[in-house]
């Protein structure tokens, strides 16, 4: 078997085309959505991701506000930028690119953000709203994965999903989204403390691999026909992405999200969705 492709690039392009029309409507109503990014340090991957986010904004007509700080920036300097974006009327939504340099209290930075401007859905208030089933901006990678599966007709309802990883951007929120009534999946969350990862993976109809361990998921770990989404972004000595999924998995799985070209573009597309939805909410509130 050779797996079908969960094409994140093409799906993200379709979402961006829809958003372009919504941004034009907002502008006609006098509201220009603006995405702010806070990038601290010189991690090449983070610089690439942030640059990609601003390229996307330009494509759909969202204004860009970029704040960059050196790797030596203090907690207070980063928090000052967050306070500034909270107050900036041109910035309708923003993100703090993660990870922040060692020694910075990430949770304190996220907690300081205005939850109404949190374009990543990572503010504690918005994560709490997700737990309570209330409307909130959704964490970009988990929401992007669900859209990618849906748009390719992969059944989530009743599926057994194994999520590998427990990080704040993917592993923790992913099961919260998948177990909503609208998705209705059964989720097993695995991590470095899982005793027999292969045994867990072999039960899965859908695998989300977000551990950051190169080629962790091997062909023999995958149930024939399963959908496998690779979210790992380790890099080799030439800076090339090495995912969490062994390339041989494509011979066993029914669907694979390539890496690059799968989940990454969907993460960026969902960010734009969150920015546009926040601007639409602000416009509706202003109209009374």
Ligand X SMILES: Nc1nc2c(c(=O)[nH]1)N[C@@H](CN(C=O)c1ccc(C(=O)N[C@@H](CCC(=O)O)C(=O)O)cc1)CN2
Degrees to nearest 5, angle at CA 98 with 97 and 99? 140
Tell me which residues in 19-48 interact with ligand X (CB under 6 A): 48
Q: Residue 141 or residue 200: which is nearer to ligand X going by CB?
A: 141
Q: 29: which 2 tokens?
A: 């109503």
Residues with a known catalytic role: 53, 97, 120
| Candidate list 91, 267, 274, 275; residue touching ligand X; CB under 6 A | 267
Q: Cβ-count burial of 202 within 10 angstroms (0-12 exposed, 13-18 middle, 19+ buried)?
A: middle
Least separation in angstroms between residue 95's CB and ligand X is 4
| Candidate list 15, 63, 95, 201; residue touching ligand X; CB under 6 A | 95
Report, in this order, helix, strand and coil percent for the chain, each rounded to 5: 45, 15, 40
Tell me the HSE value of 256 on the side-chain side, using a 13 A CA sphere: 24
| Candidate list 41, 100, 265, 275; residue touching ligand X; CB under 6 A | 265
Least separation in angstroms between residue 263's CB and ligand X is 6
**225 marked as part of a ligand binding site:** no
φ/ψ of residue 35, rounded to 5: -100, 125
CA distance 124 to 249: 36
Q: Which helix (H) or strand (E) holds 147?
A: helix 140-151
Stretch that binds ligand X, among 92-100, 175-183, 196-204, 274-282 (CB under 6 A): 92-100
Q: How many CB atoms neighbour CB 45 within 10 A?
A: 14
| Candidate list 11, 147, 169, 200; residue touching ligand X; CB under 6 A | 169
Tell me which residues in 112-141 interact with ligand X (CB under 6 A): 120, 140-141
Rg (CA), the chain: 19
| Candidate list 16, 67, 223, 268; residue touching ligand X; CB under 6 A | 268
The residues that touch ligand X, with contacts defined as CB under 6 A, are: 48-49, 52, 95-98, 120, 140-141, 169, 241, 259-261, 264-265, 267-268
Q: Which residues participate in the annotated binding site for NADP(+)?
A: 165-167, 233
């Amino acid at each position: 078997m050779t797996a079908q492709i969960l094409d994140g690039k093409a799906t993200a392009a379709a979402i961006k085309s829809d958003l372009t029309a919504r941004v034009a409507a907002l502008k006609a109503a006098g509201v220009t959505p603006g995405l702010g990014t806070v990038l601290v340090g010189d991690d090449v991957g983070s610089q690439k991701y942030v640059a990609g986010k601003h390229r996307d904004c330009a494509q759909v007509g969202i204004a860009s506000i970029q704040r960059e700080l050196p790797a030596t920036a203090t907690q207070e300097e980063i928090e000052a930028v967050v306070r500034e974006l909270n107050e900036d009327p041109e910035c309708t939504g923003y993100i703090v690119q993660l990870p922040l340099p060692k020694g910075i209290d990430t949770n304190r930075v996220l907690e300081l953000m205005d939850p109404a401007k949190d374009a990543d859905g990572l503010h504690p208030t918005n994560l709490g709203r997700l737990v309570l089933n209330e409307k909130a901006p959704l964490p970009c990678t988990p929401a992007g994965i669900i859209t990618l599966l849906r748009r390719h007709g992969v059944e989530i309802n009743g599926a057994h999903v194994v999520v590998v990883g427990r990080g704040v951007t993917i592993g923790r929120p992913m099961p919260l989204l998948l177990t909503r009534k609208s998705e209705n999946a059964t989720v097993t969350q695995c991590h470095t403390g899982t005793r027999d990862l292969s045994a867990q993976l072999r039960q899965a109809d859908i695998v989300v691999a977000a551990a950051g361990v190169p080629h962790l998921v091997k062909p023999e770990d995958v149930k024939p026909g399963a959908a496998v989404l690779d979210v790992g972004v380790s890099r080799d000595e030439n800076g090339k992405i090495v995912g969490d999924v062994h390339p041989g998995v494509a011979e066993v799985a029914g669907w694979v999200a390539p890496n690059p070209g799968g989940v990454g573009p969907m993460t960026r597309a969902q960010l734009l969705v969150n920015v546009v939805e926040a601007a639409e909410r602000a416009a509706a509130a202003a109209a009374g």
